Every structure is written in C-alpha cells, then in structure tokens.
Homo-oligomer: A and B are copies of this chain.
Amino acid sequence: MIKTELFNQQDQELALMAKALSHPARIAILDFLAQSSCCISGDISNEIPLSRTTVSQHLTELKKMGFIQGTVEGVKINYCLDNEKLKEIKLAFEKFFEKLLSNPNPICEV
C-alpha cells in the first residue's frame, strides 16, 4: 500500500525535506537554534510546549534529514543548524518553485 517509491528520486527527496518541515514544533526548534547559536536538547524542551521525549524525537527527525548536527560534549549534546546543508535545502525549494512558475500558466477559464 506504500507507493512513494514509484515516483522519481528528485520528487521523493523534496518531499522528504518538506516532511521534515511539516510540523510546527520542528519549525520552532529550527527558529530557536538559529537564535541561540548552540544548545542542548534539554534547553529546547524548556522553550517549547512539549515533553523532552517528544522534542528528542523531533530532533532525531531533523538530524536524519540533515537540517541540524549534534556534537557531544561530555554529558551534553550541542545541537546546531547545519548551515551548508540548509543552503542546499533552500536551493532545492527555490529551484522547485522556479520551475513551477517558469511556465506562464494560462488562465483556465474557457
């Protein structure tokens, strides 16, 4: 019943990036990381209205898609944005929208 693999690679990748951004908590986490340079997972769950467990899961998701990096420092983990990767993702979205808008779409009304 799962059919995503029937679509082309590029579409699948863009969909995965979009999926990573498809929850307000993850947007909020990215915002927070952008503002506060680096921070640990515990800090973040103080800032957003979800449990530490849930925040941790969202962090894992963002890490999986490459939006953020986590570097271990003793007991703590410093999460921060992966700016290089973010630039790539930004570019991918831009290209997609450019492609959609490049064809001056005629008006549909008959």
Residue A57 is within 8 A (CB to CB) of chain B in the complex: no
A residues 23-54 in Cβ contact with B at 8 Å: 23-28, 30-31, 33-35, 37-38, 48-50
**Most central of A37, A78, A93, A108 by chain B CB within 10 Å:** A108
Determine if A37 and B103 form an interchain contact, defined as CB atoms under 8 angstroms apart. yes
Distance, CA A11 to CA B108, complexed state (A): 32
A15-B23, A18-B21 are known contacts. Are A90 and B86 too (CB-CB below 8 A)?
no
Q: Which residues 82-108 in A have Cβ within 8 Å of B in the complex?
A: 83, 86-87, 89-90, 93-94, 96-97, 99-108
Q: 3 closest Cβ contacts across the A-B interface? A: A7-B24, A18-B21, A19-B22
A interface list, Cβ under 8 A from B: 3-4, 6-8, 11-12, 14-16, 18-28, 30-31, 33-35, 37-38, 48-50, 69, 71, 73, 78-81, 83, 86-87, 89-90, 93-94, 96-97, 99-110
